[in-house]
Amino acid sequence: MSHTTSDVRTDLLLRVDDLQVLYGGRQVSSLPSLSIAPGEVVAIVGESGSGKSTALMAILGLLNGTSAQVRGSIDAFGTQVVGSSERQMRSLRGSEMTLIMQSPQASLNPTMRLRTLIHRALRRHGIDKSEAASRIQDAMTAVRLDEKILDRYAHEVSGGQAQRFAIALSVCLGARLIAADEPTSALDATVQLEVLTLIHRLAQERSTAWLVVAHDLAMVSMIADHVVVMRNGEVLEAGSTRTVLGEPQHEYTRTLLDAVPTLPGEGVEHV
């Protein structure tokens, strides 16, 4: 994941250099270097307030035009996110890269059936009806959800189903990078494992890249290829998950690891 400026990789979907986010002159998040290629899962971990979500929001361009001061370079799909207009970012978000929230039910419009939501999203991105039907079928198969569920409203599905639906929506739109902010925190343990398995499978089978914010290292060890450990707005260590979690260099990472109870059962291969 780390690189030097001479190390040019043409397959990268995302490349971040010297990112800093400040509010009122105070640095709340920074990422010196991060890159993601197709099929890679990168996790940003750290305790509450360490700056994980802020980094994710900056990468998605969601801090552009806010009181946040964003410095550095974020190249997403060849577009420079820092300083981009909301119009430019909108065409990128929802097609090339999407965001999955902790609780998708809260962000899904409660007055519409899931089928309407998915059709509207596809229409907004210029996908016609016949193409939409085949994309929906493909995405629902990918996330292992029965298409019948599309006749329901968001409040009529479980948290796990809603999260799968949110992922299906991203798949439908053709997202090559899915950013996810604590995608399993609101789910119970068995369902968490199902969603992690799904993330892992989409990365493996469809080369979907993932940037996942998490505080749960058990989850990270199951799905992530690379991990970035943050504290107080700074990166403490970063590298392959095997190295960072297997031989943590920083006392803080060891503390986070000590806080992991036991890894939940099988279902996903450990990286």
Q: Which parts of this chain interact with ligand ATP (CB under 6 A)? A: 23, 28-29, 46, 48-54, 215
Taking the least distance from each CB to ligand ATP, the nearer of 51 and 183 is 51
Cβ of residue 252: shortest distance to ligand ATP, in angstroms? 13
Nearer to ligand ATP, 45 or 92 (CB): 45
Rounded least distance, CB 208 to ligand ATP, Å: 22
Find out whether 77 and 100 touch, Cβ atoms under 8 Å. no
Give the nearer residue to ligand ATP in terms of CB position, either 59 or 222.
59
Both tokens assigned to 98: 């999407």
Handedness of CA 39, 233, 256, 33 (dihedral sign): positive
DSSP 8-class letter at 72:
E
Minimum CB distance to ligand ATP, residue 256 (Å): 12
Output DSSP code: residue 233: T
User: What's the min distance (Å) between Cβ of 151 and ligand ATP?
Assistant: 34
Cα separation, 116 vs 22, in Å, equals 39
| For ligand ATP, the closer CB: 165 or 210 | 210
- Residue 22 or 257: the one with the smaller Cβ distance to ligand ATP is 22
Provide the 8-state DSSP code for 123: H
Between strands 69-76 and 14-23, the pairing is antiparallel
Q: Are 45 and 228 in contact (CB under 8 A)?
A: yes
| Smallest separation, CB 29 to ligand ATP (Å) | 6
End-to-end CA distance of the chain: 15
